[in-house]
Structures are given as structure tokens and as C-alpha cells.
Amino acid sequence: MGNVTKQLYEQFLHWAQAHENEMLRELSEWVQIPSVRDNATAAAGQPFGADCAKMADHVIKRAKEMDFTCTNHEGYCVSIQSNPTALREIGILPHLDVVPAAGEWTFPPFCGMIDGGFVYGCGTHDDKSAAVMSLYLLRALREMKIPLKSGIRLIMGLGEETGMEDMEYYVSKYPIPRISLVPDSCYPVNIAQKSNISLDISSPVPEDILSFEGGNGKSVPGHAEIVLACPEETVRTQLTERAHFKIIALPHGTKVCAEGISVHPADPEKGVNAIALLAAAIAESNLLGAQSQQLMKRIATISSDYYGMPLGLACEETATGKTTAVVTRVHAENGRLILSLNCRVCHAITKDHAVALLRDYCEKNDLKITGLHATPGVRFNENDPAVRCLQQTWHEATGRNDPVFATGGNTYSRAFPNAITFGIIGGGFYTADKRIPAGRGCAHEADEYIHASVLTHGLAIYGAAVCALDRLN
């Protein structure tokens, strides 16, 4: 199989590189549609709002122009088929929705700018590059006249970033491919993902805290700001020596802004939580009354520890590593100060055990829980035939011996049967823009971008992979 796989990889790579500029222009157009969920414009046929519906319409239009069979599944997903009459199918599951553009960007978040082989904008890294790559893979298979027994069905979701209702809907109503690939992580095969728990915890807003805002609920917050009922001079006296802070006088109080480093919550140790910086500084000052001071200490404690120790969640397991717990947002609403938490729980404890620990912590500290959503982790057997096939394809196509891996990231593998997460980032093919500093440029970060090599090599790897999976009984 080795020579065949390598030859196929090289043939697909040649095709992809010949169409590189076309794929970059395609991605640029897709990025310019701000497909962020908007419940205010949700309706029948567009459950995730108007912009996500616009994204779906655009993708269907482009796929039809390429003469593929397309279906809009009531606004939850778009499917595109290479061979609708095939008796069996291989699925590819990218997503078209994006997180809100958080933080300070050096270019417009939805500009889709192309420069030197890079495309810039929200969704380039996560996950529109994979969606464009998948569509062009269908073209490559057809134009290269690759004979397959299986049809290829792209299922592009519109609600991955907000709970994966899109795939839950699809699975409940439509045909499931015998095996699917999820191009929403790194190479090679991802065999384990942590359980995921998101929730809001809240307490009453003290009178001397006029507002406290930061984060988008999807990332380690890179910016946070608090307005205190204190004169500017008093605040400056207490906080003037602190880095990353900006102090602004307001008619009714004083605003303090903190800058951190925003990163994906699956890898929080790579970032700096701006909420934690601000809460810790206020907690150590003498700016607030006793009740407010205690609240700031609690927020600082929870948000400064990325591994769930204050919450009672800290644990570790060989395959999935450490549990993480990240404060992703703070805001005030209806007289309550609300912290949004994202917890990614290793396989040392169950999802239900983790939820019980969180409830116990909140009960003991008089905190109210709302919006709790929990999904179990994912685990594939390393000896699963499809896993072994993909690992072998990776090795033979690239010459690399990278092992399977676990992640704290969440992909459609947890919402879709027999869906294996595989690439398309990394593996020696990722080209970094050295002009963009650490903490920027990747998924869920400001100044997000991708290089053409991710699309071209991704198409080549996926081309070889679907051909190998097609040969499996």
C-alpha cells in the first residue's frame, strides 16, 4: 500500500498546488461572511441566525456551480455529495460557523485579506479552510478521475461553536456515512477528547462595582474592564504600578482595563486571562468594601487557576492529561455578576462526577448555576481498522511517525457516529506568519490566519486517506 499511498498523495498535491490561488480566493470570500450565531435573527430555516444562513446559501451556490448535488438541511447543515447513487459513503465534517471576533485586531476580522500565501480573518484557521479544502477535494477526485466504490458526502455544520445542535439534528433525521473524518484539529489521528462542561455561575453585583465585562465565552479572555465607584486619583494610587492596565476617568466612576493574551480554552496555559489579572489586582487593593473584596478574591482564585483546583476538579489521566477549567467571560445582567466557565475534564473522572463537584462548590459558596451544558468525552481504540488505516496513510504519505493523540478540543467526533478527527493543522505543513506575535493568529484568537500550505497538503492527505478508507471492507 505504501507506494500507492505516496503516489496518490503526490498526485493530489500537484493538483492542489495548481489550484492554490483559486482556493485562497474561495476562502477569502467565505471569510467575508461573518457566520456567527445570532439568536436575534433565528427563524425557521435559519436556526443560527441570518449570517449563518447567508453562509449556507453561499456554499450551496458555489457547490452547485461546480455541479455537485447539494442539500440545505433546514439551516442546520449543508451536505454536498460526490456520488448520490453510491451504496456507501465516506463523510467529511468541517464547520462553517465561527466564534465572535474577540480582542483587538490589527485588521478587520472579516476582511479575508490575501497576502503572500496567507489568508487573514475570523474562521480561516477554524474551520473554513477545512471546508474549502473539502469542497476542492471533491473537484480533485472528479477531475483526476479517481475510481472509488464509496461516495463522498461533505456535511458542513453551522452550529459547531455553540453546542453542536447542527450535527445532533442531522444525525436524528438523515443518512449517516459508514465512516467520517473531521478536519478540525491537528495531525495525525485524534483518539481521545475530554468531556466538556460549560456553565454560568453568578452572585449579586455589589454596589461599588458598576460594571465588569470581558471575554466572549469561547476563549481565554484577552481583554477585560471594570468600572468602580471610586475617584480616578484613588484608583491610580492603588493600581498605578501594575502593568497591562489602563485607567480612565468617567463621570460616574473610574474604568480600569486589563490586557491579557487570548488563546483557545483547550490550551489555557498558553494565554493570560485578563479577567484574572483585573480581579487579582482589585482584590489586593483597598478600593472596595468587604463584600466586593471577597467577590473579587473568589473571581481571581477561580480564573487564575487553569486546572480546576479551586473548583475541586483537578485531576489527571495518562491519555487525556489534566482537566482544565477556564473563565471565558464576565458580565453583569439583571443585577447579577455572571462568570462563564468552560471545563474540559480528563478521563480520570466522569462527566457526571465533574458536574456534581461543580454543583457542590457553587452550593457551598452561595453561587447560582445557569446554562449548564455537558457532553461526554470521546475515545477510539488505537487498533480500530479505520484508525490504523489513517495512521498508516499519514506515515506512508509523509514519512512521519507521529503517534495518535488526545486533546482538550471539542469536535464533531462527540456528536456524530463513527467520526474520527484527523488534521488538518500541523504535521510539518503549517507555515507561521512571523509578523504576528504569540497569542494571536490561531483558532479563537485575534488576527486569525492560515497559510496556503494547510489547504494544499490537507487536500493531498485527505485525498490519500479517502482512497485508503475506500479500500477497507
pLDDT in tens, 109-135: 999 999 999 999 999 999 999 999 999
Q: What percent of the chain has pLDDT over 70?
A: 99
pLDDT reported for residue 437? 87
Mean pLDDT of the chain: 95
Task: Answer whether 294's CB lies under 8 Å from 315's CB.
Answer: no
Task: pLDDT band for 154, please (50, 70, 90 cuts).
Answer: very high
Task: pLDDT band for 202, please (50, 70, 90 cuts).
Answer: very high
**In this model, does residue 463 exceed pLDDT 70?**
yes
Task: pLDDT band for 473, please (50, 70, 90 cuts).
Answer: low
pLDDT reported for residue 243? 61
pLDDT reported for residue 224? 95
Residues 396, 418: Cα–Cα separation, whole Å: 23
For the stretch 30-65, pLDDT in tens is: 999 999 999 999 999 999 999 999 999 999 999 999
pLDDT reported for residue 180? 98
Q: Quote the cell numbers at residue 454.
A: 494547510
For the stretch 377-405, pLDDT in tens is: 999 999 999 999 999 999 999 999 999 99
pLDDT reported for residue 2? 64
- Nearest Cα neighbor of 455 from 128, 139, 144 is 128
In sequence order, what DSSP letters do the residues of 198-252 get, joined into one string?
Answer: EEEEEEEPPTTEEEEEE--SSS--SEEEEEESS-HHHHHHHHTT-TTEEEEEETT
**In this model, does residue 1 exceed pLDDT 70?**
no
Q: Cell match 489513517: residue?
A: 390
**In this model, does residue 228 exceed pLDDT 70?**
yes
Long-range CB pairs of 400-406 (<8 Å, 24+ gap) are 400/188, 400/427, 400/428, 402/187, 402/188, 402/427, 403/188, 404/188, 404/189, 404/190, 404/191, 405/186, 405/188, 405/189, 405/190, 405/191, 406/190, 406/191, 406/192, 406/193, 406/194, 406/319, 406/320, 406/321
**The whole model's pTM is what?**
0.90
Largest CA distance in the chain: 74
Long-range CB pairs of 266-270 (<8 Å, 24+ gap) are 266/324, 266/344, 266/407, 266/408, 266/409, 266/410, 267/408, 268/220, 268/306, 268/324, 268/326, 269/306, 270/438, 270/439
Q: Quote the cell numbers at residue 31.
A: 471569510
**In this model, does residue 422 exceed pLDDT 70?**
yes
